[in-house]
Amino acid sequence: MALTVNSNLASLSGQYQLNKTQQATKQVLAQLASGSKLNSAADNAANLAIAQQLQAQINGNNQAINNASDGISMVQTADSALGQLQSNTQQIQTLAIQAGDGALSGSNRQALQQQVDQLTQANSQIVQSTQFNGTQLLNNGNASTFQVGPNGTASNQVTVPGIDLTGAPASGGLNGYNANLAATNTIDVTTQANALAAQQSTQSDLSTIGSQRTTLGAVSNSFDSVINNLQSSNISTQAANSRISDTDFAAASAQLASQQIQGRAAALTQAQANIAPQAALSLLG
């Protein structure tokens, strides 16, 4: 090999290897510091694009779970109110049956009527005031739709049917409802004949309430199913994203140790290469 002064090829080669080792060490240190193998597109452009798509799906699933949880809360609020309406209506039915007792006097039935009025007023107040985040639940026939998937499609939606108990009984309203919260005799039990009619009215109301609760129960089960599916999907997606983007600390630590050794060796080699041309001075005596 020629002994030259102007061109130190050994030094240039050493510089190249040392720089290469330093860049690799820098990348591994970044991976160890961040916990991610993909700190820039230069690390692995294809894997970065895949990881971003997977993360977007995970974020979408998480928000969809939150949406479904809000849906469950809305359904539970409505069902709780319907449960109280059901309990009150059952009491009204019992009072109506009692009012049909031929042994009762007019004043006895008037006392029963006062109890019935208290219950119908309470039911009317529940119908008018039950809401979730400002949305009326029992006097609003408009359905509420919840996005429960990462994609904006109808197949990723669950709809909570609207409930309106303020209409005519034939249209799904309650006989025991009155828009005037102080109204009396909404359901009349002051006579035996009226008491019999009241029993039929309360039975109709109980059927209406029961039907609405059944519908809400089915919707609640749908939300639960959606959440379970999203959580399962998130586990699989998160595992895939982890394999692509997360740092394997055992492998990265071993790689760092190897690169540090190579870096020190390259630095020592570089030092030797830098002083090699000085041998030319010995030829000049």
Q: What is the pLDDT of residues 172-227, one digit of tens each?
A: 999 999 999 999 999 999 999 999 999 999 999 999 999 999 999 999 999 999 99
Q: Distances from the Cα of 92 to the Cαs of 48, 177, 218, in angstroms?
A: 66, 12, 28
Q: Enumerate the β-bridge partners of residue 168.
A: none
pLDDT of residue 121: 97
Query: 109: which residues sit within 8 A by CB, 6+ positions away?
Result: 99, 189, 190, 191, 195
CB 139 within 8 A of CB 179: no
Residue position matching structure tokens 């042994």? 103
Residue position matching structure tokens 């060796």? 265
pLDDT of residue 64: 93
Could you give the CA distance from residue 171 to residue 219 in angstroms, rounded to a whole number? 21
The answer, as to whether pTM is greater than 0.85, is: no
pLDDT of residue 151: 76
Instruction: Determine how many CB atoms are found less than 10 A away from the CB of residue 218.
Output: 11
What value does the mean pLDDT take over residues 128-157?
90
Q: Worst-scoring range by mean pLDDT, 38-52, 124-138, 213-227? A: 38-52
Give percent of the chain above pLDDT 70. 80
What value does the mean pLDDT take over residues 54-71?
92
Residue among 162, 127, 125, 131 nearest 144 (CA): 162
Q: What is the mean pLDDT of the chain?
A: 86
Q: Which is more confidently placed, 106 or 9?
A: 106
pLDDT of residue 14: 67
The pair phi, psi for residue 276, each rounded to 5°, is -60, -45
What value does the mean pLDDT take over residues 158-177?
95
pLDDT of residue 26: 72
Instruction: Determine how many CB atoms are found less than 10 A away from the CB of residue 69.
Output: 14
pLDDT of residue 250: 73
